[in-house]
Chains A and B, each alone.
Chain A
Amino acid sequence: MPEKHLLLRHRDIPDIHELEVYRKHGGFEAFRKAVTQMTPDEVTEEVKKSGLRGRGGAGFPTGLKWSFMDKKNWPHYVVANADESEPGTFKDREIMERNPFQFLEGVAIAAYAVQANRAYIYLRGEFWQIAAWLDRKIAEMEAAGLLGDNLFGTDYSLRIYTHLGAGAYICGEETALLESLEGKRGQPRVRPPFPPSYGLYGKPTVVNNVETLTNVPLIIERGADWYRTMGTEKSPGPKVFSLSGHVNRPGNYELPLGTTFRELIFEHGGGIPGGRAIKAILPAGASSAILPATDEVLDTPMDYESVPKVGSFLGSASVIVVDETVDMAWLVRKTVHFFKHESCGKCTPCREGTYWMDKLMEKMVEGRGTPEDLDILYDVAKQIQGKCLCALGDFATMAVVSGIERFKQDFELHIRMPALAHEG
């Protein structure tokens, strides 16, 4: 059978969640190869050469991150970020539910590369069932001698543990995640220092997203050159795009980075229901600058370099599609309300700014807005930008600023014709 999926391999190979089946298809050979035939630095170097970039949203080069680990300070930790919380993102969940061993093997290889003997998987609290599922898979690995002491006859030891969060979007931010894992409120730390020098318990820590780690066994098994045959030069490899909103076939689609929005939405997603026209795209979930669905945008390759050129970011590639019936002021209100709820409250511009943006948007959508409110809203958003410890504050302003700049008529309509007030 032609190999259609590299990350969502369960779609081609039934029962790959069974250890036996995974191993029959070469599973854990990459981990064995790394531990028995490669030095930790060689593993890191291979991942660096592959050009793999973090799939959690920031797109930071993974191998480079690993190479920043402070080798004078021990122990080292690896933490898998399974806090998947961006509205519109549901890819890590499918990977962990259906192809768990490839992800766990990625965790194990990352741990070997930075010589960590303990790795934690931090899952959002809602993934309660997935955590129990992964615990079972980890136990199977231990029983098979793939985790524990003296792995493959070497002196390398590794244990992997799951850890459940308890409902907080902010814990997807890596330093907030570490605080939460330490049993504290999930509030971001001041950076620098970054986790590779000061991470979990103040020790050097690599924090990588689930999908990122799931790429790693393939890179070690088949090599960086093979990996680079997919995607674009600066954004190599496959990517899982979560497609949601007004499309006929929402879901996860694994495609090479650099696939156009048009191909994802119309070929794979089956286009817009009811033959309606597409109005806008949020390429990175609720954190997106909203793109009007022009031909230029639709023909833009979805990779880390091209999306910024048309005025947004790829982020975690959670593509939310919006059709012509949607009032963009209502949509912006939804995103602002989300961020107001999820602001951790540590930085004043974000805590107060999201509150006021939510108030102003509520007023506008309920038909009580004035032309001045629009100016104040824009101003508040601009005042938040670049003034907070983490990206949440900036994320909260993306839809507001791009909404007002690119879809102003939708906001003005509410001011001119309050009777159009949105229900609910």
Chain B
Amino acid sequence: MNAFYERHKEEIERILAKYPPEHKRSAMLPLLYLAQRDEGYITREAMAQIAEILDVSVTEVDGVVGFYTLLHDKPGGKYRIQVCTDLPCALRGAEQFLHQLEEALGIKAGETTPDGLITLEEVMCIAACDKAPVFQVQTGEGLTYYENMDLEKTLALIAEWRKKHTKTPEGNSS
């Protein structure tokens, strides 16, 4: 088939088995998540290979990627901090929280820190309205919720990530 298929053969077959064989296009979103896990975003090559697996045109794959906010066709930070500022969260201080975070990180929502570690994003409701301020962290691996947050807790979390991804004198990096 192609390199993407070969790389994830077992997982792809497991995904395809969830849908009737004549409707394998249903595997579109799961395969796109798989591609995102590889590179942190969905490359043109991955789109073409997924199109081949699902028997659709690249344009159709591209159209799907463009439609959904959790799919990215450009590289971003290793961690995407996605802060909800919708009405219920805003009533509990989410906008102020986002501003504080922007200042602390020195970037605006939509931007990435110069070290490429963090992309800060403002998102729509994530169904955690009673626990605002709240954000989810998206990485290629998936999504994690962080609820009842404040600046201090968030900066501590970020410090941990930095430690994990900073090269030590011995040259270890992850």
The residues of B that contact A85 with a CB separation of less than 8 Å are 124-125, 127
Q: Which of A87, A129, A182, A331 sits near B143, CB closer than 8 Å?
A: A129
CB of A244 within 8 A of CB of B23, answer: no
CB of A338 within 8 A of CB of B86, answer: yes
In chain B, what residue has the closest Cβ to A77?
Answer: B20
Known: A87-B125, A125-B143. A322 touches B91 (CB 8 A): yes
The residues of A that contact B92 with a CB separation of less than 8 Å are 244-245, 250
Is A161 interfacial (CB-CB < 8 Å)?
yes
CB of A326 within 8 A of CB of B91, answer: yes
CB of B129 within 8 A of CB of A244, answer: yes
CB of A126 within 8 A of CB of B130, answer: no
In chain A, what residue has the closest Cβ to B127?
Answer: A90
Tell me the complex Cα distance, A335–B29, Å. 28
CB of B127 within 8 A of CB of A286, answer: no
Q: How far is the CB of B66 from chain A (nearest CB, A)?
A: 8
In chain B, what residue has the closest Cβ to A127?
Answer: B127
Q: How far is the CB of B97 from chain A (nearest CB, A)?
A: 11
The residues of A that contact B88 with a CB separation of less than 8 Å are 87-88, 244-245, 320
Is B108 interfacial (CB-CB < 8 Å)?
no
Range for the number of chain A residues in contact with chain B:
35 or more
The residues of B that contact A88 with a CB separation of less than 8 Å are 87-88, 125, 129
The residues of B that contact A164 with a CB separation of less than 8 Å are 29-30, 33
The residues of B that contact A169 with a CB separation of less than 8 Å are 124-125
The residues of A that contact B28 with a CB separation of less than 8 Å are 183-184
In chain A, what residue has the closest Cβ to B17?
Answer: A161
Is B7 interfacial (CB-CB < 8 Å)?
no
Tell me the complex Cα distance, A92–B87, Å. 19
Tell me the complex Cα distance, A85–B145, Å. 15
Tell me the complex Cα distance, A124–B91, Å. 24
Q: Which of B29, B54, B91, B124 sits near A244, CB closer than 8 Å?
A: B91
Tell me the complex Cα distance, A167–B136, Å. 12
Q: How far is the CB of B23 from chain A (nearest CB, A)?
A: 5
In chain A, what residue has the closest Cβ to B99?
Answer: A424
The stretch among B68-76, B153-161, B163-171 that forms the contact with chain A is B68-76
Q: How far is the CB of B40 from chain A (nearest CB, A)?
A: 15
CB of B87 within 8 A of CB of A320, answer: yes
Tell me the complex Cα distance, A118–B60, Å. 26
CB of B86 within 8 A of CB of A87, answer: yes
B 48-94 contacts with A by CB, 8 A: 54, 56, 60, 63-64, 67-71, 86-88, 90-92
Is B113 interfacial (CB-CB < 8 Å)?
no
The residues of B that contact A381 with a CB separation of less than 8 Å are none
Tell me the complex Cα distance, A201–B28, Å. 15
In chain A, what residue has the closest Cβ to B96?
Answer: A424
Q: How far is the CB of B52 from chain A (nearest CB, A)?
A: 14
Q: Which of B25, B90, B126, B129 sits near A184, CB closer than 8 Å?
A: B25
The residues of B that contact A125 with a CB separation of less than 8 Å are 29, 68, 70, 143
B 112-170 contacts with A by CB, 8 A: 123-131, 136, 142-145
Q: Which of A93, A166, A201 sits near B29, CB closer than 8 Å?
A: A166
CB of A242 within 8 A of CB of B33, answer: no
Tell me the complex Cα distance, A127–B145, Å. 9
In chain A, what residue has the closest Cβ to B90?
Answer: A334
Q: How far is the CB of B20 from chain A (nearest CB, A)?
A: 7
Q: How far is the CB of B6 from chain A (nearest CB, A)?
A: 22
CB of A244 within 8 A of CB of B68, answer: no
A-B contact pairs, 5 of them (CB 8 A): A87-B86, A87-B129, A125-B68, A167-B69, A334-B90
Apart from the given pairs A89-B129, A166-B33, 12 other A-B contacts in the complex at a CB distance below 8 Å: A118-B20, A124-B127, A126-B127, A163-B30, A165-B68, A166-B71, A183-B26, A184-B64, A186-B67, A244-B129, A286-B125, A320-B91
Residues of A within 8 A of B (CB): 84-90, 92-93, 118, 124-129, 132, 161, 163-169, 180-186, 201, 242-246, 250-252, 282, 286, 318, 320, 322, 326, 331, 334-335, 338, 341-342, 344, 424
7 A-B pairs with the lowest CB-CB distances in the bound complex, closest first: A183-B28, A166-B68, A167-B69, A250-B130, A183-B25, A167-B70, A244-B129
